[in-house]
Structure formats: C-alpha cells, structure tokens
Amino acid sequence: MSIGAPPDLVYLDANATTRTDPRVVEAMLPYFTSYFGNPSSKYALGGHAALAVKRARAQLAELIGAAQPHELIFTSGGTESINSAILSALEAAPRRREIITTAVEHPAVLALCAWLEKNKGIRVHVIPVDRQGRLDILAYREALSDRVAIVSMMWANNETGVINPIADLAELAKEVGALFHTDAVQAVGKCPIALQATAIDMLSLSGHKLHGPKGIGALYVRNGLRFRPQIKGGQQERGRRAGTENVTGIVGLGMAAELAGRAMADEDIRVRGLRDRLEREILARVADCVAVGARADRLPNTSNIAFSFIDSEAIVTLLDRAGIAVSMGSACSTGSFEPSHVLQAMQVPDDAVRGGIRFSLSRDNTDADIDRALDIVPGVVAKLRAISPFNPKDTPKERAQAAPGHAHG
C-alpha cells in the first residue's frame, strides 16, 4: 500500500487516523489560495467561501441522515463536539444533575464526566458491559430518571469496534426526558446512519477518521433543541460556535463525507473480508489469544486481539520495526503501563488484558497488506513470549518461531 513515507508501511491503525484522500486534498486546495475569503464577509470572495461551507454541510447531512443541514455545527473535532454536547445539556437543564455513560467510552467522555463529578457535583452513572462489550440494558434502565440531563453512549467502540443499539438506547432516554448524545466518531462513514428516524439529540464526529483532514469535526444538534454554545464570541454557526470557520477543513470534511457515502456498501464487504481473514488466521496460527468482542455486532474494519503472556507495548514496537502499524489496546501513562479500561470492563483474562492489539483497516488496505501482517505477527508474538517472564508455555514450537529471522525484524 503506497501511503507515503515509509513507502512499504502496512498501516492497520485506521481507528487512530486515516490517510487524507487525495480527492479531499484536491477539493481543499483552492480554499487556501484562490477562494481564501472569510465566509462572513459580504463581498464575492467571502461569498465563494460561504457557498463552499454550505455545500459541505449538505454533504455531511446526507451521510448521517440529518433532517436539515443546519443541524450540523462545525467544530475542531470529536473531543470538542463531545464536550460541547454534554456541557450544553447540563446548562440547558440545570435542575437535572446526573449523567449516564458507559464503562467503555472514549476519554473525551470519561475524563469530562470525572471532572464534572469532582468539581461540579454531577452524579455520573457508569453502565457496565459484558464480556463481549455489550451494554447492561437492565442497569441502564435502572439509572434512567427525571434527574438525568444527558445520556452519552458511543455508537461503536474505538478499541473493539463493538456497536451499541443506539436508536433503542435513545428511545429509552426520551421516555424520561433526558437528552441523548452519541460519540459516533468511529461509526460515521463505516456504517449507515439515519438520524432523522431516531430519537438521537446530538451526535459527534471527526473528519480524520473517514479520510478527511485533522482539526475538523462536527456536532449534530437536532432541530429545535436548546443548545448552549461553549465557545462564545461572534455569530458564526448560527450563534452556536464562535470563531471564523475553518473553510478548508470544512470543505475537506464535506468531500470525505460524500466519498464515504459512495463507497460504504462496497467497502463494508471488502474491508470486512480482509478483517475477518486477518483475525481468523492470527487465531489459527497463534496460541493463547482471543478476539475481543468477536461475538458482538462490530464495525467491519476493527479487530482487537488480546495475546496472553506479553505486553501490547512490546508487540507494537516490534511490529513497527517490521513495517506494520497497529495500536495498543492499552495506554502508557506517566511511565507506568496500565491495561486498557475497555478490556478491563470486558473482563479479559488477567494473562491477556495487557496484550490487547487493535487492528483497524480502511479502504486503503489490500490483500497484500494482510498477507504481510500474517507473515510477521506470529513470529513477533513468539519472539516476545520466548523472553517473557510471564509465559508459562515456552514450547519448542514457540522457540522455533522466535528464531532469528522468523519475526522479520
């Protein structure tokens, strides 16, 4: 796959970010130079920019099935959109002092909720999941009440790809008058979304997850909803988000949305096939590993495999040296290696919870990428297990796989 430097890199970390599609870059370029006007300006140059923003809003509205393009507010990305949704809901209903979320949300949700709980006295209900990452619906029903200002639950998990029944969850929130927000950063462009037919009040998304540029995202706010802007100043975005619009980024997001809509059905089949082959062959070739959430409904591009007896940080490092880019199912924080909160919530066994690796594909990936990954991953795992103090199964087979040259790096 030719995606830039290094030219032979096999990139399997699309849930972290995606390559900006060349057609997106082409659409953006004129708005850096030829049509550089401020869209709030009243002369023709500003008018060109304003029309481009309007067109992009319509392109994005079509992708997510919004009733009206003006339901979309352009932001700097997913984190701003998420924060704006939750904080606005609390301001709009000051007598409601509770939030409901899940144990497997992105830090953009969980960190904000923890801050609100500590500093603002907001009660946060954290709903658990089962071993497949599926939400405990009974616990959710019990947490719902007329004290809840907002429910924030992700459409699809960024580490495992597990999809929540978002439309049903939103209907339950509606019964108690709570607003419902979904972090759909990983879902938009990968699975069909038709917001107009749901009770979802707000939805967050980010351009760089669907082959658009970084630094641009959007927040869907259902028509008629009371929204309290978190960035105050001018009257841009219908008074809901102040600041001169990022016209080039908005144009790029609009084009990325259009391209995603065109390709989604075909790429669902093709990318799912690549993901399934990668997952199936790794499980067949490597002992003591498990595909996390594999029995749940998942995004077509995501596989999280937890390898027993080794740390994911070491796997990522050796795969990187071999030209394979993947992500940890865990994070390094202040020098200490901590297991992924998602894998912990899903009760992945202790011997594997530190060995979670996320393989996430995009439309850029090919059969050759999967072949190369399958050539390299088993040897890397064997090499690490052969030197791991946690491995009780240092078998002759593993020692042979770990022999010099087998791991390709």
Catalytic positions are 332
Q: For 217, list phi and psi in degrees, rounded to 5.
A: -155, -170
Q: Which amino acid is at 382?
A: A
Q: What is the dihedral of CA 132, 137, 138, 143, to 10 degrees?
A: 120
Beta bridge partners of 360: 13, 302
Which residues have CB under 8 Å from 94's CB, separation 6+?
Answer: none
The single residue listed with the structure tokens 């999280």 is 304
**What's the Cα-to-Cα distance from 316 to each of 62, 88, 285, 358, rounded to whole Å?**
37, 38, 18, 10
Q: Which amino acid is at 256?
A: A
CB–CB of 233/275 below 8 Å? no
Reduced to 3 states, what is the DSSP secondary structure of residue 367?
A: helix
Cis, bond preceding 300 (omega within 30 deg of 0): no
CB–CB of 312/328 below 8 Å? yes
* Alpha-carbon span 20 to 24, nearest angstrom: 7
* Alpha-carbon span 337 to 310, nearest angstrom: 12
> Burial letters for 289-321: b for 16+ Cβ neighbours within 10 Å, e otherwise?
bbbbbbebebbbbbbbbbbbbbbbebbbebbee
Query: Which of 5, 6, 16, 20 minimizes the C-alpha distance to 364?
Result: 20
| Residue 19 Rama label (left phi>0; alpha psi -120 to 50; beta) | beta
CB–CB of 311/406 below 8 Å? no
Q: Which amino acid is at 9?
A: L
